[in-house]
Structure 1
Amino acid sequence: MHCQIRKATDQDATAISGVIVAALRESNSQDYSAAVIAQVTLSFSPSAILRLLVQRQVYVATLDKEVIATASLDQATVRSVFVAPTHQGQGAGRALMAAVESAAHSHGIHRLRVPSSITAEGFYQSLGYSTVRDEYHGEERTIIMEKALTPLA
């Protein structure tokens, strides 16, 4: 699959919300309770996404102009990496992470952190991230991972 990576715009908020909610309900629900999924879903409404667009560098992966994945950079932390369930495992997440890592590096960031879901831990490990510690927010387990960025060639 050859997707396009670009910065998100306000017009993408509804599509980004849809990708995130679908991934939470279909993929993350294998590792988290329905209550945790419902709670996390509340944080990703279209209006919440509009607020995040002001606070973070938000990126989207598109295929034929359809938003199929998203990721964001919040200083030295990668956040909200989600791929639509129908497009998982096809490279969109890797392409987004490469764009986020490149943006971080260009801003002088040499070490990135990512609060990973249980579901995505293996994905981040495959990209060179290592587990630092677990955090719990109620019954939601988050795995804090990090990676030293190598200088660009």
Structure 2
Amino acid sequence: MDYLIRNAMAADAPAISQTIINALRQSNVQDYSSEIIDQVAQNFSPMAILQLLAQRQMLVAIVDNHIVATASLDQDVVRSVFVDPSHQGKGLGKHLMKRIQSIATNAGLNLLRVPSSITAEGFYASLGFKKVRDEFHKSERTIIMTKTLGL
């Protein structure tokens, strides 16, 4: 599969929003209630994506001229790693995470943290992240995981 990973741009906001919402509604629904999914989806409107672009380094993966995945780095925290369900299981998430880890290493970071969904815990564990603790925001469970870089 041919793909391109690049820095996200403001013009990408609608496509990033749609990719995230597709993943939430199709993949995360197995682990979270529709109320939690709706609440989280509100954080990823195109306008919200534009605000996030100003706060963190955001990447996109493009296949056939369409954005199909995204990931971002906010200081030492990996955030918003989502792959459109039609492209999951093809290695795009791993490629994005490899790029994120490279950016973090080049910035001199020794540790990456990720607030993982229940759905993505196995994915991050397969990349060497270890569970530190669970956090709960009302009934939404997030798994805090870390990975030491450079080992």
1:89 paired residue number = 89
Equivalents in 2 of 1:62, 1:84: separation in Å? Answer: 11
- Give the alignment's TM-score, normalised by structure 2: 0.98
Deviations 1:94-124 (A, max 9, x none): 0000010000111111100000000000000
1:134 counterpart = 2:149:
no
Cα deviation, residue 150, structure 1? 1.2
**Percent of counterpart pairs with the same letter?**
59
1:16 counterpart = 2:26:
no
Say what the alpha-carbon RMSD is for the aligned residues: 0.7
SS in 1 for 2:52: helix
4+ runs of 1 displaced by more than 2 Å? none
Task: For structure 2, list consecutive stretches of 5 or more residues without a partner in the other structure.
Answer: none
Counterpart AA for 2:135: E
1:76 paired residue number = 76
1:41 paired residue number = 41
SS in 2 for 1:90: coil
SS in 2 for 1:43: helix
- Give the alignment's TM-score, normalised by structure 1: 0.97
Equivalents in 2 of 1:109, 1:28: separation in Å? Answer: 30
SS in 2 for 1:32: coil
Alignment of 1:101-120 (within 5 A): 101-120=101-120
Task: For structure 1, list consecutive stretches of 5 or more residues without a partner in the other structure.
Answer: none
Cα deviation, residue 59, structure 1? 0.2
Number of matched pairs: 151
